A and B are shown apart, each in its own frame.
Chain A
Amino acid sequence: MALELRNVTKRVGADLHIKETSLVLETGHFNVLLGATGAGKTSLIKMMAGLDPVASGQILMDGQDVTGQSTQKRNISLVHQFFINYPHMTVFDNIASPLKVAGLPKSEIQGRVEHAADILKLRPMLHRRPHELSGGQQQRTALARAIAKESRAVFLDEPLANLDYKLREELRDQLPELFAGRGAVVVYATSEPEEALLLGGHTALMEDGRVTQFGRTAEIYRDPANVLAARVFSDPPINTAKIVKQGDTARMGTDVTWTLTGAAAGLADGPYMIAIRPHHVSPVASPEATVTLSGRVQVTELSGSESSAHFDTGSGSWVSLAPGVHPYRVGEMHDFHMDPSAAYVFAPDGSRVA
């Protein structure tokens, strides 16, 4: 099973909400759509589900054109951010609803519903109504419906966004396992880069109605194709700065310079942009971190085992993320150390050059 988009666009009035997009989503691993709110993840899912019309282009399932086919005929499942269960039906009937509609025999419905309920630990709740369940149980009911249906494609549209932290971690760990070996194409939309990394598989980075990069999640993270991809796939936000290359020297602002190595050294002289992840900017000096940035600390955050600091060098704002607890004082100058070999280098138009 494969789900393919060929030059698909979506129009709302005169606006092009989804710009020409082509993707091949395959079974066997998660396909993550990663992008900020409004990037077009839900729009793309709704088109694949047949809930919203496609302005141009084709959608294919298993090589068969389904562009004009109604949602009812596509045999898909969709789990929303908001727990959508039928309020007047029991959990059992909710999970069974697509199977009943499909006209399966009673015994098979019973078996499939109980199997899905066992996987999602809903067995004791089968006779309750959705309003008698917690948020996590409601979302598990929605997931159980998707599993029981054994559809060709499963769309999970930020399914964990409205759950509390603990439950989110627990369900996120279970998700890949739940859908493994079911032969369905799983599409998972999220706005959290961390989630994409944890779920693995392939990731399509989305920005402003277009897919900026698509490939194996780990590769995209390590190797962003352009500055947008680097930005989307970083939390806290990636640091960017303008540099000027002259010979093998990079100059940032007026007084920070370093010697370029590797691919960056071979570039033509001129202006470039670098992007460097916050964890490569550290308050602790090390042999690799050859560039020192002095800045006034503006905001600090301590999250258990990591400390982050936002600081201003006078020419730009930076974020540092380092393991351990560091005694920052807000408003005072601190030295931060950057490893320039970890920086991505982009041409002024945003495309990656080194």
Chain B
Amino acid sequence: MKTENQKAWFFVLPVLLLVAFNALIPMMTVVNYSVQETFGDNLFFWQGLGWFEQILRSDRFHAALGRQFLFTFLILIIEVPLGIAIALSMPRKGFWVPVCLVLMALPMLIPWNVVGAMWNIFTLPDIGLLGYFLNHVIGINYDMTQDPLAAWITIVTMDVWHWTSLVVLLSYAGLVSIPDAYYQAAKIDGASNWAVFRFIQLPKMKTVLTIAILLRFMDSFNIYTEPFVMTGGGPGNSTTLLSIDLVKIALGQFDLGPAAAMSLIYFAITLLVSWLFYTLMTKDDLN
């Protein structure tokens, strides 16, 4: 017979405290700000859902949200297939495995602001290696401080360089867990390389790929540091992604109420998309 007692609470308690301090309390503060108006001096006036309405109706928010979805869509559509392709072409055993793995992990080990600074300098038209090469050797007019398209190409390329490795490493982990016997069985079945990928490798990678896409979605949807360092949201507002806009409203204009409402909406969108995606991807496994 099972004995029931309340001991389990003691094990959960430390986690509860930690989560309270680093998530719940800050979040409730944001909720608090989002429904009130303040002029400083700890003086608050009830605002209701006014800020939410204002944000949801604001063209500025719609534009930033649109740019955010475009950015996330672009990096996912590039990083996921590219990551899978690189993982497929990496060696499965032998001397080159650790070499490849370390090379792959390198970009991810660099701090985000350093990545931003690196790419910033790299693409400067007069002194940057890439910028100089494009402008003065090939003769393409490439300047991300002037041209929105160049700015977009640069931040997308930067993210691909920085984070494709994550998809590669997770896909690779899925691939190496496939026993040789399945490849042999597939050969005997007469399967082409495409069929092996479609019916053996892809299903085996599905779980890790779900995690990879989820992580890349959340991370890219919340991206701040690199574009902030590289473009600062410009030229104009062309690379002002949601997080950059949020910081502008909160700390630039000190509109704490609208900023709080916006961060809650932002959070809800991230959560909703992640939940939808995860539920869809794992639906089959539950049956």
Chain A interfacial positions (CB closer than 8 Å to B): 49-51, 70-73, 75-78, 80, 82, 84, 86, 88-89, 97-98, 101-102, 145, 149
Contact = CB atoms under 8 A, between A and B. Distances in A.
A84 B190 contact: no
A149 B204 CA distance: 24
A80 B190 contact: no
Contacts of B195: 101
B149 interface: no
Nearest to B179: A84
B199 interface: yes
Given A97-B199, A101-B195, A86 B185 contact: yes
B191 A101 contact: yes
Given A51-B184, A78-B184, A82-B181, A98 B203 contact: no
Nearest to A71: B187
B188 A102 contact: no
A195 to B, nearest CB: 23
A101 B196 CA distance: 10
Nearest to B203: A88
B187 A70 contact: yes
A98 B188 CA distance: 8
Contact of B199 (A75, A77, A86): A86
A102 B181 CA distance: 20
29 contacts: A51-B184, A51-B187, A51-B188, A71-B187, A72-B190, A72-B192, A77-B188, A78-B184, A78-B185, A78-B188, A84-B181, A84-B182, A84-B184, A84-B185, A86-B182, A86-B185, A86-B199, A86-B200, A88-B203, A88-B204, A89-B199, A97-B189, A97-B191, A101-B191, A101-B192, A101-B195, A102-B190, A145-B189, A149-B189
Nearest to B188: A78
Contacts of A70: 187
A98 B199 contact: no
B76 to A, nearest CB: 24
A97 B182 CA distance: 12
A45 B203 CA distance: 29
Central interface residue in A51, A89, A97, by most chain B CB within 10 Å: A97
Task: Identify the 7 closest CB pairs spanning chains A and B, nearest first.
Answer: A98-B189, A71-B187, A88-B203, A72-B190, A84-B181, A101-B191, A84-B185
Nearest to A76: B188
B181 A75 contact: no
Interface in B180-231: 181-182, 184-185, 187-192, 195, 199-200, 203-204
Classify chain B's interface size.
10 to 19
Given A86-B200, A97-B199, 7 more contacts: A72-B191, A76-B188, A77-B188, A82-B181, A84-B182, A86-B185, A97-B191
Contact of A98 (B190, B192, B200): B190
A101 B189 CA distance: 7
Nearest to A70: B187
B181 A49 contact: no
Nearest to A75: B190
Contacts of A89: 199
A50 B184 CA distance: 10
B285 to A, nearest CB: 9
Contacts of A101: 189-192, 195
Nearest to A142: B185
B185 A49 contact: no
A100 to B, nearest CB: 8
A297 B185 CA distance: 49
Nearest to B183: A51
Nearest to B206: A88
A97 B192 CA distance: 12
A45 to B, nearest CB: 11
Nearest to A155: B188
Contacts of A77: 188
A77 B190 CA distance: 10
Nearest to A46: B184
Nearest to B284: A88
A107 to B, nearest CB: 20
A86 B187 CA distance: 13
A171 to B, nearest CB: 20
Contacts of B204: 88
Contacts of B192: 72, 101
A23 B188 CA distance: 22
In the complex, which of the residues B190, B192, B195, B203 has the most CB atoms of chain A within 10 Å of its own CB atom? B190
Contacts of A86: 182, 185, 199-200
A70 B182 CA distance: 16
A86 to B, nearest CB: 7
B233 to A, nearest CB: 45
B191 to A, nearest CB: 5
A149 B187 CA distance: 13
A72 B195 CA distance: 12
A71 B189 CA distance: 9
Given A97-B199, A101-B195, A49 B188 contact: yes
A71 B188 contact: yes
B78 to A, nearest CB: 27
B101 to A, nearest CB: 26
A133 to B, nearest CB: 16
B224 to A, nearest CB: 38
Contacts of A51: 184, 187-188
Nearest to B191: A101
A100 B116 CA distance: 49
